[in-house]
Amino acid sequence: MEGEQEKRLLIKDQTSEEESSLVTRVWNESKLMWIVAGPAIFTRFSSFGLNVISQAFVGHIGPRELAAFALVFTVLIRFANGILLGMASALETLCGQAFGAKEYSMMGVYLQRSWIVLCSTAICLLPLFFFTGPILRLLGQDGNIAQVAEIISIWSIPILFAFIASFTTQMFLQAQSKNVIIAFLAAISIAIHVFLSWLFTIQFKFGITGAMISTILAYWVTNIGQLIFITCGWCPDTWSGFSFLAFKDLWPVVKLSLSSGVMLCLELWYNTILVLLTGNMENAEIQIDALSICINVNGWEMMISLGFMAAASVRVANELGKGSSKAAKFSILVTVFTSFSIGLILFIIFLLLREKVAYVFTTSEDVAVAVGDLSPLLAFSLLLNSVQPVLSGVAIGAGWQSTVAYVNIGCYYIIGIPFGILLGNVFHLQVKGVWIGMLFGTLIQTIVLIILTYRTNWDEQVMIARIRINRWSKVDPDNETIRSDN
């Protein structure tokens, strides 16, 4: 009897130790995750808040201006944002894995290569900003709304180039877990934006011009601060000055940037297509206003998910660079579970709020009623978005961008959009039908990413990361100069 009791006590102690070990591992991983996710969420809240604050002030100028602003920022700016953010995510893969492998010397060169690739891309996008009016009319948008949108798009060109500095410097600093400075600068910029928006649009009544000037200044305050932080001595290991090496071996960076751009563009343009389809339906102005409000709320929650996406990307890339497949898998579990828990809470809250959300952005009762009608779909979007972007972050950290791009094409554009058009137009569900179809596409994509992540051989991913690092960055031991092998 005594022997059996001792065995039971021993088993109990071992179980307790295993549970304690698991709790400790979760706690340690959560701390590493939140070091990246916390400032990243706040920064993305602040960055997204710049547009929302502008939209709130523009909404008090007039419904036509609000609809035009919504079109430009939901269609044109989201389009450009998707391309530049997607292409910049290649830097997230490279810097994250290089930092994990302690190949610090190449990170500054990767940053400069990304600047070259993204600036070239932004120049190619400029015609869209100059010809926004004719493009929107060609797509069937209201002529009066398109005329105001044309003015807003010209003012948006400095924002296009602000994205380049913003995305690249943030990813460079996040890979090193030095993103507290980004959050600090973001807080300053949003405070400046609120004051200037009130001053220019309410006090001085400069209208659209005042709102856009305030938005431009707010974006560039953050970027200038981040550039000073990187280039003036606060990143001594990873930034050693400007180098002609940035112009060498650009093609591998271009290829990874293109696959990254396609992957994220296909995701970010999904809601853009939803707005364009709505513009061709009955009561377009009210529908666009209501939908843009829902997308803005969805966007606020997406900033939380994008913070966890950044954390997943950094943690996976760092652990793969270090050669630890188990740590990479564990970080995925912790990040996904944390993000989903927050998404579930928000799902319940927004099911209850309904049309009350609309009055933050507009005084129109018709728009508020339309928002209330769409709120159940908004709540489900919030829930799905708490998982899907995090899994995309895993893909970025591991360098799977091209694979996920094919997944996105199938789920979003072969399943989601056609199904949404069918429900919206054939079954006359209007914007609700389009949104239901697109949610179905997102659900399928999320399931596919879960299966892909689960079935991945993470030991093999460690080897792939090591090959990439060894191929792209080496240091000559004789003169300690960086050379890149193709």
- Chain length of the chain: 486
- State pLDDT tens for residues 204-222: 888 888 889 999 999 999 9
pLDDT, position 483: 41
Whether pLDDT at 234 is above 50 = yes
**C-alpha to C-alpha distance for 83 and 76, rounded to whole angstroms:** 11
Mean pLDDT, to the nearest integer, of 70-95?
A: 84
Task: Tell me the percentage of the chain whose pLDDT exceeds 90.
Answer: 23
Lowest mean pLDDT among 59-68, 185-194, 434-443: 59-68
Mean pLDDT, to the nearest integer, of 387-391?
A: 89
pLDDT, position 271: 64
Whether pLDDT at 87 is above 50 = yes
- State pLDDT tens for residues 14-47: 444 344 588 888 898 999 899 989 988 888 888 7
Q: Rounded to two decimals, what is the model's pTM?
A: 0.79
Using pLDDT thresholds of 50, 70 and 90, give the confidence band for residue 13.
very low
Lowest mean pLDDT among 227-241, 336-350, 395-409, 464-478: 464-478
Mean pLDDT, to the nearest integer, of 147-160?
A: 92
Torsion 138-144-150-152 (CA) sign: negative
* Segment holding 475, helix H or strand E: strand 474-475
Mean pLDDT, to the nearest integer, of 222-228?
A: 93
Using pLDDT thresholds of 50, 70 and 90, give the confidence band for residue 478.
very low
Q: Work out the end-to-end distance of the chain between its first and last CA atoms, rounded to an integer number of angstroms.
A: 69
Neighbours of 206 (CB within 10 A): 16
Amino acid identity of 249?
A: D
Find, among 30, 279, 307, the residue nearest to 146 by Cα: 279
**C-alpha to C-alpha distance for 455 and 470, rounded to whole angstroms:** 26
Task: Tell me the percentage of the chain whose pLDDT exceeds 70.
Answer: 87
Mean pLDDT, to the nearest integer, of 450-462?
A: 91
- State pLDDT tens for residues 247-273: 877 777 787 777 777 777 776 666 667
Mean pLDDT, to the nearest integer, of 403-411?
A: 85
Quick one: angle between helices 63-71 and 2-59, nearest 10? 130
pLDDT, position 485: 40
